[in-house]
Copies of this chain bind each other. A is one copy, B any other.
């Protein structure tokens, strides 16, 4: 059995003296006195009223009165900050908007309605100053999403973007939970691949930058690209697991700086074996959407509210981002999310399942269109019938590249299908954010790769 005992020791430059440390057990206190270290979100619950506590974070506002100073401390654990009250004698010229502080004191019930508790400071330590002249964000100003986007290394310090990051983290966890609760196995599909899933398209090529490999030699022996989808790799797993999913970055070398496109974006993809119809997919798509959204709305009430009230008021359900056809269809159905199914055979990739409904001739493909965003999800049943798949691959000249894919149909093939959801578009959809660059920590697009 694995034994997780851990020892510590130091190694100097000479690696001479070895210090055998004690096992690390229990919780180590950060300070000499008995203050309980609390996160701001913990302090705000009010459970520790009366306790001697220590809070660490960044100053979001400062106000001086004759006898007292008031300031708000935020540590990213919630949108709300903790108000600190201190005697005027404790003021410090370094205590400014944006500075980092450590405050110890007694947590008290607040006399004001605005906050449940406040911290009566006994000691204030400015850990890191912040020159208000140089700092690009100003106290009490609400900076636009466009402005803060120019400062990717600092924008997490604004209310709007820290809310976005908490929502994004919660939405990620919610999606993982949905799949786990429904018996899906998570697969880490590869980023570097020798496949081109869509059979064409704007790919990024991957090559070593160093001098080890010459121009004539490929690092991987074959041309290698950044993945555009984990679908085919999930299909591999669909030969042994009835439910699999992946959640990770995908790439398009699209020469676009539009509000809808990124060169690097996140996709949730699922593949389900033993499907009988598209309804087996649309049910999971809808369930996942509902379940994740309900959880985000329930757990990030204040953060979501900030977007709906202040950041993007009136921008929700705007239709300007969609192509004309999509806009028409969504409007026709009453401005609610809409599944569009059974696309023409000739428009869909080789793996889409033939509905064999000539002369219309469609495939069992489905898109989920949502107001204001357009395509949020795309999916299809996959062609599991060896003869049909082989004929189609021959027709498009790809049968040699995909012999391994045909193997999946040779050995214990089952009807299966799957879908992908664009995670940034999902966030845009629930928050009403116009520009996709405002819902990802570090947006990458043509002519921009900051940091």
Contact = CB atoms under 8 A, between A and B. Distances in A.
Contacts of A236: 152-154, 156, 451
A209 interface: yes
Interface string A5-36: 11111111101001011001000101000000
A206 B226 contact: yes
Interface stretch (A64-72, A98-106, A389-397): A98-106
A209 B205 contact: yes
B190 A444 contact: yes
B411 A154 contact: yes
11 contacts: A4-B337, A8-B341, A56-B414, A75-B241, A76-B244, A127-B415, A156-B236, A191-B191, A192-B263, A204-B219, A233-B442
Q: Which of A2, A338, A413 has the most CB of B within 10 A?
A: A2
A128 B341 contact: no
A339 interface: yes
Given A205-B207, A274-B56, A340-B11, A441 B190 contact: yes
A343 B11 contact: yes
Interface stretch (A83-91, A113-121, A138-146, A286-294): A286-294
A222 B450 CA distance: 9
A102 B274 contact: yes
Contacts of A8: 282, 338-339, 341
Q: Give the size category of A's interface with B.
A: 35 or more
Interface string A299-342: 00000000000000000000000000100010011101111111
A442 B240 CA distance: 15
A82 to B, nearest CB: 13
Given A152-B236, A209-B225, A236-B156, A290 B4 contact: yes
A239 interface: yes
A265 to B, nearest CB: 10
A360 interface: yes
Contact of A240 (B11, B58, B263): B58
Copies in the complex: 2
A112 interface: no
A412 interface: yes
A165 interface: yes
A388 interface: no
Nearest to A194: B449
A2 B241 contact: no
Nearest to A213: B255
B10 A135 contact: no
A147 to B, nearest CB: 16
A362 B12 contact: yes
Interface string A273-291: 1101001101100100110
Contact of A220 (B186, B414, B446): B446
B127 A414 contact: yes
A56 B130 contact: no
A232 interface: yes
Given A173-B186, A442-B189, A344 B407 contact: no
A341 to B, nearest CB: 5
A253 B409 CA distance: 34
A220 B290 contact: no
Contacts of A30: 274, 276, 280
A398 B107 CA distance: 45
Interface in A174-231: 176, 180, 183, 185-195, 202-210, 212-213, 219-226
